[in-house]
Structure 1
């Protein structure tokens, strides 16, 4: 992965988040940044740092499983490991522009290990 690629930029943000390195995150996130998740609908940069950044203290590491880059967008699926030993899987789509991350869309995933037995639906547990 080239150091100038959007995928490298995204990987750098995940590293900054898990290390609590706000200075690096501030440099990587564009001034007109917007963040969307099931809990946030296009919040701005200031709101992201006020609401979401404090969660960096609970993350021990991200294991980036898939990174797909196309046309200034990066889709990444990861397993996050928390400080208390829990794990969860998410996918994010990030828009990169001019060497910064301009937007993030987060799609929440399931717990790891999965709470539902293989081949079953949640109501079949």
Structure 2
């Protein structure tokens, strides 16, 4: 599986809350960093971050591209059930078919139009 496919599959596992699939795609030594989480490990990610998809009305990947070796750039937008829309960027590192690190960069509120294609 290509690195971009691993990342897309992990995003899909998150949005559908398929934890079993996500656990196969995320490495045991995984590290997750966001403005709210500073280098948390895999267990903390699955406890704190993974279950948050229920707050989404929809989410779609806008751009997914390999960058430099093992890294994949992901731009996605989503709408919360409250109606707020946002865009975020992630930089994922994939090794041997599993994500070893995710760095999330939060964007601000984004647009007021519905997506043409939700994923």
2:22 aligns with 25
Aligned-CA RMSD value? 1.4
Q: Which aligned segments of 4 or more residues in structure 1 are displaced greater than 4 angstroms?
A: none
Query: Which of 15, 31, 49 is the matching residue for 2:12?
Result: 15
Residue of structure 2 in register with 1:82 after alignment = 80
Alignment gaps of 5+ in structure 1: 115-125
Gaps of 5+ in 2: 113-119
Q: How far, CA to CA, are the matches of 1:59 and 1:12 in structure 2? A: 18
Query: Taking CA–CA contacts closer than 8 Å with sequence separation of 6 or more, which of the two structures ends up with the larger relative contact order?
Result: 2
Q: 2:58 & 2:11 partners in 1: Cα distance?
A: 8
* Contact kept in structure 2, 1:18 and 1:60, CA below 8 Å: no
CA deviations over 1:59-82 (Å, ceiling 9, x no partner): 243211111203110011110233
Using the TM superposition, give the Cα deviation of residue 88 of structure 1 relative to its aligned residue in structure 2, in angstroms: 0.8
Equivalent pairs counted in the alignment come to 111
After TM superposition, the score normalised by the length of structure 1 is 0.82
Larger CA Rg, structure 1 vs 2: 1
1:109 partner SS: strand
- The TM-score normalised by the length of structure 2 is 0.86
